[in-house]
Amino acid sequence: MSFPNLYYKRTAAAAKVCYICYKPTTTVLATIDTKDFLYTCTVHLTDPGFATRVPDLELAEMKQIGASPEEIAKVKEEWEGKQRRKKEAEKDKDREKDTGGKDQDKEAGDGKKAKDSQEKKPESTKAPSASSPRQSTPASKPTHEQYILHRHIFALRVADHRRRRQLAQVKDLAPRLPITPRGTLS
């Protein structure tokens, strides 16, 4: 196969005949690199025997996940913070076991308070920065509808391209072949 079975619906300026019913139409199905394109009526696009629409991946992912990317990032940050605090608590316990001094317990308590205040400050600074990218991100960009042709229709398209390619090779090769003998045998 020289091209994938993924076509994008586009509209053309000039109407040409439909690949199926030969009526004039401006709807075009084209591959991403426009190696293959075919004009088709919008009615044929609803026919499952001709083509099926590919669902939008972003919408499908959002439906499956059920949460926005911002919410996921927020939960990740919270979880990582909790993991850091657990590791720090384990380190503090190990230090206390090794030293066992009361003065160090007080210092560790003061250190924990300082760490908590430091952790709270970055969270407050992260919140405004998180809101600014939301404002700077553009609205969802319009994309072309994607279609997959039925396997038989796609096989016809591939065979047509193969035939065209072979004809081009024959035309290129024909002048280089030797001429047949024209004389009579004696």
User: Is 0.85 topped by the overall pTM?
Assistant: no
Give the residue from 58, 51, 60 showing the smallest Cα distance to 9. 51
The answer on pLDDT for 100 being more than 90 is: no
Helix (H) or strand (E) holding 24: strand 24-30
Q: What is the distance between the alpha carbons of residues 145 and 15, in angstroms, rounded to a whole number? A: 19
Say whether pLDDT at 84 is over 70: yes
Element of type H or E holding 159:
helix 151-173
pLDDT in tens, 125-176: 444 444 444 454 445 555 789 999 999 999 999 999 999 999 999 999 988 8
CA distance 118 to 112: 10
Helix (H, G, I), strand (E, B) or coil at 31: coil
Strands 7-17 and 146-149: antiparallel
Contact (Cβ atoms closer than 8 angstroms) between residue 50 and residue 76? no
At residue 131, the pLDDT reads 47
Backbone phi and psi for residue 81, each to the nearest 5 degrees, phi listed first: -65, -45
Q: 7-17 and 37-39: which strand pairing?
A: unpaired
Condensed to tens digits (0 to 9), the pLDDT of residues 12-63 reads 999 999 999 999 999 999 999 889 999 999 999 999 999 999 987 765 655 6
For residue 10, which phi and psi values (nearest 5 degrees)?
-135, 165
pLDDT score for 98: 82
- What's the pLDDT score for residue 105? 54
Statement: residue 67 has pLDDT above 70 = no
Assess contact for 19 and 38: CB atoms under 8 A.
Answer: yes
pLDDT digits (tens, 9 = 90+) for 103-138: 555 555 555 555 555 555 555 444 444 444 445 444
